[in-house]
Structure formats: C-alpha cells, structure tokens
Amino acid sequence: MADLQGKTVEYSKTTITELMIPSYANFGGKIHGGILLSLIDKVAYACASKHAGSYCVTVSIDNVEFLQPVEVGELVSLHASVNYVGNSSLVVGIKVTSENVKIGTVKHTNTSYVTMVAKDDDDKPTRVPPLIMETKDEIRRFVEAMKRRELKLSFNEKMDETKNRLDLNQALDILKGQRCIAKLDVG
Ligand SMILES: CC(C)(COP(=O)(O)OP(=O)(O)OC[C@H]1O[C@@H](n2cnc3c(N)ncnc32)[C@H](O)[C@@H]1OP(=O)(O)O)[C@@H](O)C(=O)NCCC(=O)NCCS
C-alpha cells in the first residue's frame, strides 16, 4: 500500500490566543488550571486534525506543570505544532505564554505534549501522513518525542513492578516520618 503524502510541520502549526476573563478565575483571583487544560486540548485537536486530515482523540497530556500563575486580563497564547507521528498517533507540542499587554511582559507558563490518535469514520485508528521536517528544531523535537515515549513506557513498567511488590508492612515502613496517620490494626 502506497504511503500517504507527507505534510510539513508548518502546514498544521496552530496558535490560539484568548483573553483571560474574570469568570475563568479561582477564589484567589488567578486563572483555573482547568481553563488552560481545556485550551491545550482544543489547540492540540486543531493542530493534529489538520495534519491527520481526520477526526482525532486525545490519549494523554504530558508534563502539565504550571510554573507561573496566569492573571485575569492577560492574553494567553498557545502555540502548537506536530512534533512526532507514528502510524495513527501524533504528538503535538504546545507552548503556552501569557502576555500582560499593559506592561508588555510575556511569561512562559508551560510546555505540554499531547498524544492524539486519528480515527476513521468507524472510530478505528487510521494512518496519518508522514511528517516533513524542514528545520533542526523540528528534527530535535521528533527525536525527543521518541525518547519521551520510551521513558514513559519504562516508567510505567517500573511503577507497575513497584505496585505489585509493595506489601502493607513495607508501606507502613515507608510511611514513617510522613505527615499521615495509618488508623488500622495490622495485627
Ligand atoms: C487511544 C485509543 C485510540 C487506542 O486504541 P487501540 O484500539 O488500543 O489502538 P492501538 O493499540 O492500535 O493504538 C493506536 C495508537 O495509539 C497509541 N496509543 C495507545 N495507547 C496509548 C497510550 N497510553 N499512550 C500513547 N499512545 C498510545 C498506540 O501506540 C498506537 O499508535 P501508532 O498507531 O502510532 O503506533 C483508544 O483507547 C481510545 O479511543 N481511547 C479513548 C480516547 C478518547 O476518547 N479521548 C477523549 C477523552 S474523553
């Protein structure tokens, strides 16, 4: 079967800019993390479906760490591009920045990596076009996405091993010195 025609990273690059209105704020006056997550998911979908030429679903969102708060009145921009493609999966890298237009400062709030899978009309994963890379950064991002995927797999395997090996006595031992109280009779 002939492969699909490749598409450049440039072709599906997507930016969304949104004003942070008061109804997006929490009780402390800062923007809810969930608002940003929803925007991340939205821009990832736009970017991935443009590359795939089909409907896509979100599989995972990695490395969501909000390092700086976003304030009401700031303009949040989400810059998305396809970093990696597999057979039916794509990884979209998203850089989130927040701009205070009055004082002219721009802060980088986070960078996240969203794995999406392209689906056909029968809801089955479907092949996506290869990625045409035209810059050193695009090549670096593709390889980094492969490494991130490998590391995540090995982390998940190690975590499963740890969970399977952990018994109650070990758990209680580990908890010594932690700020918690185990209220059960171990016998
Ligand atoms: C993700 C999903 C499509 C995988 O379906 P599946 O039948 O297991 O399909 P496959 O095993 O063929 O995997 C399809 C692709 O997903 C990737 N994938 C599956 N699980 C994954 C995971 N946890 N992390 C990263 N990639 C994953 C596979 O590596 C494969 O990629 P490739 O085609 O590029 O090699 C399916 O579980 C699904 O539809 N989940 C719900 C997604 C959704 O509705 N999201 C919205 C949230 S409400």
1, part of any domain: no
DSSP the chain: -PPPPPEEHHHH-EEEEEE--GGGB-TTSBBPHHHHHHHHHHHHHHHHHHHHTSEEEEEEEE-----S--BTTPEEEEEEEEEEE-SSEEEEEEEEEEEETTTTEEEEEEEEEEEEEEE-TTS-B---PPEEP-SHHHHHHHHHHHHHHHHHHHHHHHHHHHHHH--HHHHHHHHTTSS----S---
List, in order, residues 6 or more apart from 3 with CB less than 8 Å away. 130
pLDDT value at position 81? 98
Ligand 1 centre from 84 Cα, in Å? 15
Domain carrying residue 43:
7-133
- The finding on whether 125 has its CB within 6 A of some atom of ligand 1 is yes
121, part of any domain: yes
Q: Which amino acid is at 62?
A: D
CATH of the domain at 84: 3.10.129.10
Ligand 1 centre from 170 Cα, in Å? 35
- The finding on whether 88 has its CB within 6 A of some atom of ligand 1 is yes
> 145 with 62: CB under 8 angstroms?
no
Question: Could you give the C-alpha distances from 84 to 5, 6, 96, 128, 140, in angstroms and in order?
Answer: 16, 13, 19, 11, 10
> 29 with 37: CB under 8 angstroms?
no
pLDDT value at position 63? 82
Segments of the chain scoring below 70 in pLDDT: 1-2, 186-187
From the CA of 89, give the closest atom in ligand 1. Answer: 34
Ligand 1 centre from 96 Cα, in Å? 25
pLDDT value at position 103? 95
Ligand 1 centre from 117 Cα, in Å? 6
- Which residue bears the tokens 């009779």? 185
Nearest CA to ligand 1 atom 9: 125
The total number of structural domains that make up the chain: 1
From the CA of 90, give the closest atom in ligand 1. Answer: 34
From the CA of 85, give the closest atom in ligand 1. Answer: 34
State if pTM tops 0.85: yes
Ligand 1 centre from 149 Cα, in Å? 13
156, part of any domain: no
109, part of any domain: yes
List, in order, residues 6 or more apart from 172 with CB less than 8 Å away. 182, 186
42, part of any domain: yes
57, part of any domain: yes
pLDDT value at position 185? 76
149, part of any domain: no
148, part of any domain: no
pLDDT value at position 4? 86
Determine the residue of 4, 45, 59, 120 to mutate for testing ligand 1's pocket, defined as the one with the most ligand atoms within 8 A of the Cβ atom: 59
pLDDT value at position 187? 64
DSSP 33-54: HHHHHHHHHHHHHHHHHHHHTS
